[in-house]
Amino acid sequence: MARTVAKEPGRIASAGHGGWRRLLPQRVDEELLSEVVLYSMVALVLMAISGRLGGAFFNANNLVSVLQQIPEFALFSLAMALSMISGGIDLSVIAVANLAGIFAAKIMTDAGLQAVLGEGGVIALACVVALASGALMGLINGFIIVRFGIPALLTTLGSMTLYFGLGSGLTGGVGISGMPPAFVDMLPTRIGGIMPVSFVLLFVIFVLMSAYLRSSIFGKSLYLYGENKIAALFTGLRVERTLIWSYVICGLLSGLCGLIMLARFNSMKVGFGDTFLLQAILVAVLAGMDPYGGRGRLFNVLATVLLLQCVENAFTIEGLSPYAKKMIWGGLLLLFMAMNLFFRRIVARRLTAMAIREQARNTQ
């Protein structure tokens, strides 16, 4: 077998891929190295923002505003990272969120249902339908990938077009607005008057997902499948079922994003959140997810989203134009990823040299 699984998921040593991995499988931890670079960048960015903006950024109202703005971005990035662990990708997350949000919006604005179920009843029904429809769309993606062997890139690209088309057909390209006030007021609610409920929910989701992947057979199977698909098939684990369930979870997270966007904008139409797609892919890679699968820690995704949202907020305080912000933000993303790759290669080369010297001493 070309690769073996280490004791923890995400720390999978490679026995036949790369000289330094063969020489130093236990001492070289690519994920740890990636985390060091990531959190070093977080510290440097916060120091730069502190020196430039000071109290204009580091005040309670602004920091709470930053936390309120990230739930959709973070959940889309989480779904993307989960699909990357298996060596795939999910390009349909925005389309799933849009269509799930459209289903929920139609239910909540239906006068007949409101008369029968009341405001609380239609909100509950809309939330259940949005989450269930998101999970179903994810199930369709996973089933096609597993049963027909179509690559995830092509499958989710096709389903993205399908879901966007269904959403356009249901709405005629026009937004649906006028949600019940009780639904819209849930998003800005704060615990103790300080911490946004949406961020608390987001944090709990990240903690539970990270813990589950690291401790469950499902998580270990997913990492193993991403690291070495052939080896995973020979283990006897139900890797195909695991892969399908991973896309179901992606769809469920996207459905939740659709509800959050619906509450934030008090309306829904096809195209809401389009800009999140490429950003979610970049965040997942910057957080240490290997596009080929088998590596990465989900909790780093949240740290990366917070980092980028702080940068975005700092640009807003500085009064930069939207065009300048996009240009600088894109440049910073490329810079961060280049720094990550550069430092990982530098440290890997030095550790390789140390391993060679140590091996030479042991053989003398």
State the Cα–Cα distance between residues 304 and 91, nearest whole angstrom.
20
8 Å CB contact between 90 and 281: no
Residue carrying the six token digits 């109202």: 61
8 Å CB contact between 90 and 80: yes
Closest by CA to 148, choosing from 249, 250, 222, 240, is 240
- Sequence-distant (6+) residues with CB within 8 A of 350 are none
Q: Tell me the per-residue pLDDT of 170-195, one tens digit each, with 9 for 90 and over.
A: 998 888 898 999 999 888 888 877 78
User: Which amino acid would we find at residue 20?
Assistant: W
Q: Show pLDDT as tens, one digit a residue, over the chain (364 residues).
A: 444 444 344 443 444 344 434 443 444 456 676 777 778 878 888 898 888 888 888 888 888 888 888 999 999 999 999 999 999 999 999 999 999 999 999 999 988 888 888 889 999 999 999 999 999 999 999 999 999 989 999 999 999 999 999 999 999 888 889 899 999 988 888 887 778 888 999 999 999 999 999 888 899 899 988 888 888 778 777 888 999 999 999 999 999 999 999 999 999 989 888 888 988 988 888 888 888 888 888 989 999 899 888 888 888 888 877 777 777 767 766 777 777 677 667 766 777 777 787 777 877 6
Q: Which two tokens stand for residue 10?
A: 């995400």
pLDDT, position 55? 83
Q: Tell me the per-residue pLDDT of 198-230, one tens digit each, with 9 for 90 and over.
A: 899 999 999 999 999 988 889 989 998 888 888
Q: Mean pLDDT in the chain?
A: 84
pLDDT, position 79? 95
| Torsion sign across C-alpha atoms 279, 283, 286, 288 | negative
pLDDT, position 20? 36
What are the structural domains of the chain? 19-50+61-363 (1.10.3470)
pLDDT, position 151? 93
pLDDT, position 31? 67
pLDDT, position 347? 67
